[in-house]
Structure 1
Amino acid sequence: MSYEAHFRVWRGDAEGGELRDYQVEVNDGEVVLDIIHRLQATQAGDLAVRWNCKAGKCGSCSAEVNGRPRLMCMTRMSVFTPEETVTVTPMRTFPVVRDLVTDVSFNYDKARQVPAFVPPKGVAAGEYRMRQVDVERSQEFRKCIECFLCQDTCHVVRDHEENKTSFAGPRFLMRIAELDMHPLDAAAEVGLTRSSSAQEDHGLGYCNITKCCTEVCPEHIKITDNALIPLKERAVDRKYDPLVWLGNKIRRRDA
């Protein structure tokens, strides 16, 4: 079954823009990205949109569809009624380059600020051995495709531009949690406590666990429950639990 859908697509650049109306053909089984491509081919040849795999694995086609951060290639037209207006806008949290393309360099800056995995001493690369039970907790986080939808929907930076300098966002706090759970990460041996660093250097305290990041994750990663809350708990334990504080003192003295 084919029908004519009413699309509203944001057109513009860093200087400003507007929503423009289009009537576009929709066929069975199509996704929003299909319609955007048809719009490019038939009515708006200069429409800028970023995409790559069209399989929900590259994270390139992130946008906001009817106000919700989504991957356009994974948003089926069947979730909308033929009478419904489908509004497509760029991710609001990041500066617009043109049309649906945004400048996501903020995320790469934050990625560079997260200390990398610290290999254990005396074990050469390729000789690491871990039991599956020890990596199960952090393995979930490796599914991240870096679509940055979680970063886009996080109100800490979405509604407060001034927080961007001190807040890494859920994607990179999850990266810190992953490293903190890694059975071979030897950060503590070089004086780096990852949970404390998350709090002091990457703004973990700004997160108030609304779970909006989890709700928009296309890989269904439980970012809040499995990464951010445990990271917060470890940061609080290390700072305020007297037994943990005493144990850290004893360990440092023995070292």
Structure 2
Amino acid sequence: MSYTAHFRVWRGDDKSGELRDFDVEVNEGEVVLDIIHRLQATQASDLAVRWNCKAGKCGSCSAEVNGRPRLMCMTRMSVFDESETITVAPMRAFPVVRDLVTDVSFNYTKAREIPSFAPPAGVAPGEYRMMQEDVGRSQEFRKCIECFLCQNTCHVVRDHEENKPVFAGPRFLMRIAELDMHPLDAAEERGLDRKRSAQEEHGLGYCNITKCCTEVCPEHIKITDNALIPLKERAADRKYDPLVWLGNKIRRREG
């Protein structure tokens, strides 16, 4: 069963652009990305859109559908009323390249700033052993497909361009949290305090845990509850708790 839907799609580049109206055929079971492809095929052959797997696993087709950051390939047309106007626009937090394609290089810059896993001394990669509970805790965060919807919806990045140099954003603070709770990460033995680094170098204090990043995550990762809040608590303990401070002093003297 098919019907005609009214779409408003953003067309333009880094200099100017506007929302343009299109009437496009919709068939049963289709997603927004299907309609964008049909629009390319029938009315706007030069429409730029980034996509790859069409299975919700590559993170390429991120956009804002009716103002909400979503993967177009995972947004079914059945969630909208047939009479509803559907607006599709590029992610607002990042510079537009053309049409629905944005420049997300900010995120790769931040990824390179995060120190990688520090393997324990004297243990070969094939000899790593962890409790299953610790594996499961880290595995949740490794489901991330790097669609950058969490980065896009975070108002610290989205609404304040001046914060970008000093704020890693939820995706990469989550990466720090994962490494900090990893039982085999030997960063501290090598002089790297991940909690201090998160606070002082990657802007953890800018996050005010509104959970908007969690709400838009297509992999349903509990970014705020399971990564950011625990990391904030550990960072606060390390910096302000007098008992933790004293314990660290004693351990350093014994060392």
User: Any conservation in 2 of the 1:91–1:152 contact (CA below 8 Å)?
Assistant: yes
Q: In the TM superposition, what is the alpha-carbon distance from 1:94 to its structure 2 partner?
A: 0.2
Paired residues for 1:180-199 under 5 Å: 180-199=180-199
Paired residues for 1:36-185 under 5 Å: 36-185=36-185
- One-letter amino acid of the counterpart of residue 28, structure 2: D
- One-letter amino acid of the counterpart of residue 122, structure 1: G
What secondary structure sits across from 1:243 in the alignment?
helix
Q: In the TM superposition, what is the alpha-carbon distance from 1:135 to its structure 2 partner?
A: 2.2
How far apart, in 1, do the equivalents of 2:226 and 2:113 lie? 22
Give the TM-score normalised by structure 1: 0.99
Count of residue pairs the alignment pairs up: 255
Paired residues for 1:22-37 under 5 Å: 22-37=22-37
What secondary structure sits across from 1:23 in the alignment?
strand
In the alignment, which residue of structure 2 is the partner of 1:12?
Answer: 12
How far apart, in 2, do the equivalents of 1:242 and 1:92 lie? 43
Percent of aligned pairs with the same amino acid: 86
What secondary structure sits across from 1:126 in the alignment?
helix
User: Any conservation in 2 of the 1:135–1:183 contact (CA below 8 Å)?
Assistant: no
- One-letter amino acid of the counterpart of residue 191, structure 2: G
Q: In the TM superposition, what is the alpha-carbon distance from 1:214 to its structure 2 partner?
A: 0.3
What secondary structure sits across from 2:125 in the alignment?
coil
- Deviation track 1:77-134 (CA, whole Å, cap 9, x = no partner) reads 0000110000000000000000000000000000000010000000012221112122
- One-letter amino acid of the counterpart of residue 38, structure 1: R
How far apart, in 1, do the equivalents of 2:181 and 2:29 lie? 41
- Deviation track 1:218-240 (CA, whole Å, cap 9, x = no partner) reads 00000000000000000000000
What secondary structure sits across from 1:40 in the alignment?
helix
